[in-house]
Structure 1
Amino acid sequence: MASGEAGPETDAVRREFALERYRYILQQINAVNENAHRFLALYQTLATALVSAALALFVGYRNWDVPASTARGGVIGLLILATVVAAFTSTLILVGALAWLDFRNEECDITDEVVGPGFRKRPRPGNFLRWYETYVLLFIIVSVIAMWVLAAFLLLPAMR
């Protein structure tokens, strides 16, 4: 056999390597899916704690003899922290979605080579309305906007 020709042993090694790579890709896709849930739980926990602290400050600043301007600054600071947590969580979810797309394309490359072209359809970013990450991101955006709107129209004006 001339060098460069693939023998039965080489084909078997390539198939075994492709199978192991395919298993790894499927594990990574699963990890990316699980991470989105973890990031949402992290956001919910931290946002709830920060907003609770802001509300506690709003309710108790007079009893604690904290000047209104300091209390307003504290509420704004806590909302800024909640916004930073939201931005960080959104970034992690977006990067996870991009990683998922990359892994799915690699999965399709392997199945095209080993099984046959078109065995798995490639993911289409246009299907983003069917991805739960889209709705997690929308939830985060809407909740941050709601926090700021409620603070701006209810909490901060009452702290005079």
Structure 2
Amino acid sequence: MGESEQTRPDTATDAATIRNEFALERYRYLLQQIQTVNENAHRFLAIYQTLATALVTAALALFVGYRKWELAASTARGGVIGLLTLATVVAAFTGTLIVVGALAWLDYRNEECDITDEIVGPGFRTRPRPGNFFRWYETYVVLFILVSVITMWVLAAVFLLPAMR
């Protein structure tokens, strides 16, 4: 006739088990993404430092060698400004990537808190507070990039460009 109560699968228990397994896999994925976002900030800073150093070195080489290479001073000034502009673009791109990474981190952490609130219990993980940005190392990386770009331009405007007349 029909299945007995003991042999029929308990669909509520199966659904809960599947839901918990799915939540666990999602939680693992979120933790992996958070780790990746954290690592990316260091990679972006290393890329910025490498490119900025190369571009500023090229600008200094142009400043030192433009007479020997028989370049007009206006051409050399244009080259220095172009190289510093390129360094600024690299800085802006790097800063943007770091800010977007921080926003992604906030999103992943909030989703992590949603999962733990639902599966473990409310308040298991404290939600991140954007007001604590002064404690995030990304804030200081972006500030470093900003200060270094401003310093490059000020030094060029005060020392290099006036000397290339």
Structure-1-length-normalised TM-score? 0.96
Which structure 2 residues correspond to residues 22-37 of structure 1 after superposition, within 5 A? Answer: 22-37=27-42
Partner of 1:86: 91
Structure 1 residues 107 and 54: alpha-carbon distance in aligned structure 2, compared to 1, 3 A threshold: same
Amino acid at match of 1:110: I
Partner of 2:109: 104
For residues 137 and 31 of structure 2, what CA distance do their matches in structure 1 show? 18
Amino acid at match of 1:43: Y
For residues 123 and 114 of structure 1, what CA distance do their matches in structure 2 show? 19
The unaligned stretches of length 5 or more in structure 1 are: none
- Counterpart of 2:50 (choices 45, 57, 62) is 45
Amino acid at match of 1:99: A
Partner of 2:13: 8
Query: Which of the pair has more CA radius of gyration?
Result: 2
- CA offsets, 1:110-135, max 9 Å, x none? 00000000000000000001100000
For residues 19 and 76 of structure 1, what CA distance do their matches in structure 2 show? 53
- Counterpart of 2:79 (choices 74, 77, 99) is 74
Partner of 2:5: none
Deviation of residue 26 (structure 1)? 0.2
Amino acid at match of 1:129: F
Amino acid at match of 1:49: A
Partner of 1:62: 67
- CA offsets, 1:67-119, max 9 Å, x none? 00000000000000000000000000000000000000000000000000000
CA RMSD, 1 decimal: 1.2
Structure-2-length-normalised TM-score? 0.93
TM superposition outliers: structure 1 runs of 4+ over 3 Å: none
Count of aligned residue pairs for this structure pair? 157
1:7 aligns to what SS in structure 2?
A: helix
